[in-house]
Structure 1
Amino acid sequence: MSELEAEHRAHYQATVVQEALRTAAADGDPYASILLVPDDPYPLYEQLRERGTLHRSAVGVWTTTSHRLANQILRDRRFGVRTPKARNPPSSCRSTTRCSDWTRPTTHGCASSPPPR
């Protein structure tokens, strides 16, 4: 794929994501609205809090406004970055030793992961 084709593909993907976020936001999903970077996100944070400690967004991600719960999840070994063995690691990992075991389950939670280089 040429650089120009890659650029066009990335632009198309970003357009599709933006449209999906706008649709979810119009349907009342506060998380989608936050991702669209509003001038005043605080009313949206309140809407998220009203949805409970743990809420699944229409965008497909789980959200929490609880520091305690977020802290538990980020430190839990069961929650980490994984990918199917058929996929390649992200380009940022391809040349580093720390990513050599990319397809193995994590042995630590996200909060104890080493920072990116």
Structure 2
Amino acid sequence: MITTLYREGPRLSDPNYTRIVFLVYTRLQGDVMSRAWEADPVAQFKKRLGKSPLQLGVTDEDPTCPDVWELTNGDVAVIGRDLTDDYAARLPDGVHIGADERLVVIPGVMLRAAKADIPDE
């Protein structure tokens, strides 16, 4: 799996706010697409990484909150705003979004809060 983090400038309403864009993309080999990693659709939610959206002040108890969760297989699920169409025309060189992938944006404070729950290994 190849993951790229792209940091945007500050949000107008909060000068300390940044957004992290997660891009997960695949590698092409000749005419056949092979993947070093594939998402497991049967993995279960194991634990939230970081604090809840309400604790971080990024929601007003709306049920459509961003979130970051570890799955039972060790992968990470990110719930965020789907901005694939908004970013598609301005991706950095070498970055691609596969047909079955989405570019999801979450508040940077959520990833920073999750950092303590993410092992370095």
TM-score by length of 1: 0.24
Give the structure with higher Rg (CA). 1
The answer to which structure has the higher helix fraction is 1
TM-score by length of 2: 0.24
